[in-house]
Amino acid sequence: MHRTGCILVICLMSFSVSAQQMSPENAAMFARYPAGAIFHGKPATPDVTDPDAHMFRTRIRAGAAQGVVFAAHYSVAVWGCGASCISFAVIDAITGRVHFFPASISQVNEAGERLTYRKNSRAIHVIGSLNEENSADRWYLWDGHEFKLISEKPARLLDDQGNESRP
């Protein structure tokens, strides 16, 4: 098979696996907070004049270039901040304004994706420790200005063999 064809098959397989693994509870949470009409216009250039945005301008511009992936008109830029740590920002495709998530997210033994979101939902799912403290499974609601915590429960933990363990 041609190399491009192999890559496409792998990408499609990854998409179908992740789509099948979404629990009904998670699907319901995303559906509970619809985002409205999806923006299809030309995205605004990210505003990186703020010192924090300027520091991460390369990652922010790369995230914005991926197009709208969250809450109807936002792009998401994600970057590493350590071995098991990420930080992220959302970029408004209409205004170019950059909004940072207020903490880094790290995972050591937590089960599940660290960060999940949908184009048609204002909900965002975060699993892990925030600023390396208090491991949890959290849901936030994006209101266009800030991330508001709407649900928090203990994260499922896995041992070194991938079996569920108790904290």
Q: Which of 62, 28, 33, 31 is nearest to 46 (CA)?
A: 62
pLDDT for the residue 6: 37
Q: How far apart are alpha carbons 15 and 66 in whole angstroms?
A: 17
What digits encode the pLDDT tens for the residues 16-67?
Answer: 233 436 889 999 999 999 999 999 999 999 999 999 999 999 999 999 999 9
pLDDT for the residue 32: 98
pLDDT band at 3 (very low <50, low <70, confident <90, very high): very low
What digits encode the pLDDT tens for the residues 108-166?
Answer: 899 999 999 999 999 999 999 999 999 999 999 999 999 999 999 999 998 887 788 76
Residues whose CB falls within 8 Å of the CB of residue 61, separated by 6 or more in sequence, listed in order: 46, 48, 77
Could you write out the DSSP letters of every residue in 46-63?
P---SHHHHHTHHHHHHH
Q: How far apart are alpha carbons 68 and 51 in whole angstroms?
A: 24
pLDDT for the residue 21: 66
Residues whose CB falls within 8 Å of the CB of residue 41, separated by 6 or more in sequence, listed in order: 93, 94
Q: How far apart are alpha carbons 13 and 105 in whole angstroms?
A: 27
Sorted by where each begins, the domain ranges of the chain are: 23-165
Beta strands in 25-114 (DSSP E): 74-82, 85-92, 98-100, 105-106
Query: Does residue 131 or residue 2 have the better pLDDT?
Result: 131
pLDDT for the residue 51: 97
pLDDT for the residue 7: 35
pLDDT for the residue 104: 97
